[in-house]
Amino acid sequence: MKAEIIAIGTELLLGQITNSNATYISSQSASAGIFVYHHTAVGDNKDRLEKVIQIAEDRSDLLIFTGGLGPTKDDLTKETIAKHLGTPLVLDKMALENIKDWFTKMNREMTPNNEKQALILEGSYVLKNDYGMAPGMVYEKAGKTYVLLPGPPNEMKPMVDNYLIPYLLSKRSDGSVLTSRVLKFYGIGEADLEHQLQDIIDEQSNPTVAPLAGDGEVTLRLTAFGENSSVNKKLLDEMESTIAKRVGAFIYGYDQETLWSSLLNKLRHKNLTLAVAESFTAGLFQSTFAAEAGASSVLKGGVVCYDKSVKTKLLKLDEETLESNGVYSEWCARELALSVRRLLNTSIGISFTGVAGPGAHANVDPGTIFMGIAWGEEEVETVKLSLVGSREAIRNRAVKWMADHLRKKVEQLK
Amino acid sequence: MKAEIIAIGTELLLGQITNSNATYISSQSASAGIFVYHHTAVGDNKDRLEKVIQIAEDRSDLLIFTGGLGPTKDDLTKETIAKHLGTPLVLDKMALENIKDWFTKMNREMTPNNEKQALILEGSYVLKNDYGMAPGMVYEKAGKTYVLLPGPPNEMKPMVDNYLIPYLLSKRSDGSVLTSRVLKFYGIGEADLEHQLQDIIDEQSNPTVAPLAGDGEVTLRLTAFGENSSVNKKLLDEMESTIAKRVGAFIYGYDQETLWSSLLNKLRHKNLTLAVAESFTAGLFQSTFAAEAGASSVLKGGVVCYDKSVKTKLLKLDEETLESNGVYSEWCARELALSVRRLLNTSIGISFTGVAGPGAHANVDPGTIFMGIAWGEEEVETVKLSLVGSREAIRNRAVKWMADHLRKKVEQLK
């Protein structure tokens, strides 16, 4: 069953809003074993919408429309589909009641144009709108299934989860179930990963293996189809171990896990606390880490030592030695990590110093960065990296590199 | 000129990522007077992509492709378009050099499949990739224009702004010149702004007026078409002053300016330096500010006092008074701002304390935040806000609120 999602709204084409409805409907469909092959977005225009419907009918079996079910003049999805299919629109009493209730709750007078929202394609299965007025519907004709959903995400999402997906699953012919697992990688490029897994990817069938790059990370989505989820789990486990044999060192987690949640859990599990001294990253490591709920159990805080004076006065680095080594040095990274650990009395102290760019500073190229990790007074690591990219990319890569490095180190601790 | 945006990537159809590229390209095109009538997303599949190209050629003049220019087997956009148009792919020396440089800088081995990224449609105009390996290109044939852009937003966006839009503008057939001006607002919602400018927006023709909401900010894009840029400037000035009469108080800048660059310039201009104490924002203010090149001339740094012990030990707040007032108090905000200003010896010290959520803490609701601004030992402001939204939204709104507040205050200084 080939599905297509058709979003209607001129604001999408003006770039005023993003078509996140297509994302949501796609992921919910995929996990129900329904495959979406096309997304289309078109404006509030009858003629263009009708052409889009014709194209979709030629290539898809399930057409999922979202948007244009409202009361205003430019809401014309229902009318256009009805005209195209030669199916009359009829008033749905339940939907009308729902709309009237809605106005009562809001203590507002129901204007006539709102009745329009209670019209449905004659013979369609109504999808109740628990969070708004316009009902959704499923209509079948000539082997095609037409699904109409409202545009507002807070109305559309629960309608999909609670009514549409169960309805579609009940209609499925084969009993097969779909199970999906996402492997998260860090420290390996998409090309390199795929190069190492080429034969697996070429021969994939069940489970399917799909790489996806983004923001310095790569993920691999494994999707298995079988008669039940335990059969699927076995298929996924086998595939995962085959992959892990080759590139397991770069796998840091699964599904919704991030480098940061993984790091937080590992530090928490070992009862370790963290203090951070940030120069060119200026708090980016700490603020990204603190975006994880519960970070406060691990991160005590730190110092943003953007200016040299903060390094010497607050973090007490020796001025002369700092002069001779320079702020862009392993010595500086080492001292910052030690100092912030001491000051905040934590298990671990880490530090970032370097040039984010744009342009060189003190004859040091942008992307030249030094990091320190102090595990104790005597136990300090320093790392020098040469990163490329924009100022933003360099800062982001630095903190991600550290998150991954810490994660691995903490895992290895006795 | 009818434009269509075609995004290629199975991950879009699985709902793993959102097609925000279409949003960005649409809004940038609109501001250049190029109108997008369709968005299409299709998977990494030659046959389906070729059919999508045929459909787009039937209804559009400008086909903008994004995604599928990478090194892997499932990156097949270029190959499919080349085959469809019967245009050979040739190696672009500059692009290949760029790719080699990239690997050298990353100290990574260049795998053979990366050379593929340097192939371009013969006779196409190359769009340089300043933030990645795969070049973009513009190719014209039989009255249709084909634009190929990389998929990663951090590569695609600057390519669109710096190379594609200027190229397309230079190609405009009619002699008219287009001049665009973006007004940046903070502190007013999109609905409220539109309500106050309804008549202007309804009657707009030249200049056009397009509101665009995003991330707690609203922008208004004014676009004038005329015989030359000075004619356009006059049209834009008139429209701007009409708008400013009603909502000028909320305008903070123009075009590429951000709250942060505006704040940086104003502080720099008055030779003021800044120190920051951050509890629940955990460095977010500093790291966001430091994303602006040149921030180091103003931001000396600060302290992330996530844990109470950092507030008392490093920032020297009196333990007993802190106990009695609590960390979520105007007193705490005031003392943090004063203390960090003293410690770092800056003109201004600011502070953030409060509950980001999720969930209440110490019986204080999430979104309850306190901020301090110390202009001197005696001159301290404190602010209490009750914000709503997710943990992330609350942290972002708090730092933006402060950026806007400081900006306005600094502007008023003698």
Q: What is the pLDDT of residues A90-101, one digit of tens each?
A: 999 999 998 888
Choose the closest CB to A201 out of B73, B284, B356. B73
In sequence order, the β-bridge partners of residue B147 are B64, B138
- Is pLDDT above 60 for A282? yes
- Least confident range from A271-285, B41-55, B89-103: namely B89-103
Residue partners of A323: CB distance under 8 A and separation at least 6: none
Cα dihedral across residues B255, B258, B261, B266: positive or negative: positive
Choose the closest CB to A23 out of B18, B291, B343. B18
Q: What is the pLDDT of residue B72?
A: 83
Q: Rounded to the nearest 5 degrees, what angle is found at the Cα of B269, between the Cα atoms of B268 and B275?
A: 30
Cα dihedral across residues A110, A114, A116, A122: positive or negative: negative
Tokens 């200026």 locate to: A282
Which one is predicted more confidently, B293 or B102? B293
Q: Which amino acid is at A260?
A: W
Residue of B nearest to A16 (CA): B212
A6 three-class SS = strand
Pairwise CA distance, residues A94 & B223, whole Å: 47
- B285 chain-A contacts, CB cut-off 8 A: 283
Judge: A284–B289 Cβ closer than 8 Å, yes or no: no
| Burial of residue A62 (number of CB atoms within 10 Å: 0-12, 13-18, 19+) | buried
DSSP class of A56: H
Pairwise CA distance, residues B371 & B317, whole Å: 16
Pairwise CA distance, residues A114 & A105, whole Å: 15
B167 three-class SS = helix
Q: What is the pLDDT of residue B347?
A: 97
Pairwise CA distance, residues B37 & B28, whole Å: 14
ipTM: 0.72
Judge: A300–B310 Cβ closer than 8 Å, yes or no: yes
Q: What is the pLDDT of residues A222-278, one digit of tens each?
A: 888 888 889 999 999 999 999 999 999 999 999 878 999 999 999 999 999 999 999
Cα dihedral across residues A8, A13, A16, A22: positive or negative: positive
C-beta contacts of A165-173 below 8 A and 24+ residues apart: A165/A28, A165/A29, A165/A32, A167/A125, A167/A127, A167/A138, A168/A32, A168/A34, A168/A62, A169/A32, A172/A33
Mean pLDDT confidence for A63-70: 94
Residue partners of B336: CB distance under 8 A and separation at least 6: B277, B279, B305, B311, B315, B317, B349, B351, B353, B372
How many residues comprise chain B?
414
Q: What is the pLDDT of residue B19?
A: 96
Mean model confidence pLDDT for chain A = 91
Work out the pLDDT band at B213, boundaries 50, 70, 90: low
Judge: B283–A283 Cβ closer than 8 Å, yes or no: yes
Choose the closest CB to A40 out of B35, B38, B285. B38
Domains of chain B with CATH codes: 2-170 (3.40.980.10), 177-254 (3.30.70.2860), 259-412 (3.90.950.20)
Q: What is the pLDDT of residue B175?
A: 63
Could you count the other beta carbons within 10 Å of the beta carbon of residue B228? 11
- Is pLDDT above 90 for A36? yes
Work out the pLDDT band at B54, boundaries 50, 70, 90: very high
Pairwise CA distance, residues A61 & A56, whole Å: 8
- Least confident range from A119-123, A405-409, B358-362: namely B358-362
Q: What is the pLDDT of residue B166?
A: 82
Q: What is the pLDDT of residues A186-209, one digit of tens each?
A: 988 877 888 899 899 888 788 888
CA atoms within 13 A of residue A284's CA, in its CB half-sphere:
26
Pairwise CA distance, residues B232 & B236, whole Å: 6
Q: What is the pLDDT of residue B173?
A: 61
The answer to whether residues A116 and A71 touch, using CB atoms and an 8 Å cutoff, is yes
Q: What is the pLDDT of residue B161?
A: 85
Pairwise CA distance, residues A115 & A102, whole Å: 12
The answer to whether residues A3 and A27 touch, using CB atoms and an 8 Å cutoff, is no
- What kind and span of H or E run contains B203? helix B198-203
For chain B, the C-alpha Rg in angstroms (whole number) is 26
Tokens 């004014």 locate to: B222
Terminal-residue alpha carbon distance, chain B? 51
pTM here is 0.73
- Least confident range from A112-121, A138-147, B328-337: namely A112-121
CA B142 to chain A, closest CA, distance in angstroms equals: 23
- Least confident range from B3-7, B71-75, B258-262, B364-368: namely B71-75
Tokens 């004038």 locate to: B224
- A356 chain-B contacts, CB cut-off 8 A: 290
Phi, psi torsion values for A305, nearest 5 degrees:
-105, 60
Judge: A55–B52 Cβ closer than 8 Å, yes or no: no
Q: What is the pLDDT of residue B214?
A: 54
Q: What is the pLDDT of residues B7-35, one digit of tens each?
A: 999 989 988 889 999 999 998 888 777 88
Q: What is the pLDDT of residue A115?
A: 86
Could you count the other beta carbons within 10 Å of the beta carbon of residue B150? 27
- B345 chain-A contacts, CB cut-off 8 A: 309, 313
Which one is predicted more confidently, A215 or A313? A313
Pairwise CA distance, residues A188 & A194, whole Å: 10
Q: What is the pLDDT of residues A100-109, one digit of tens each?
A: 887 787 677 7
Q: What is the pLDDT of residues B137-191, one digit of tens each?
A: 999 999 999 999 999 998 999 899 889 988 887 776 666 777 888 899 998 876 6
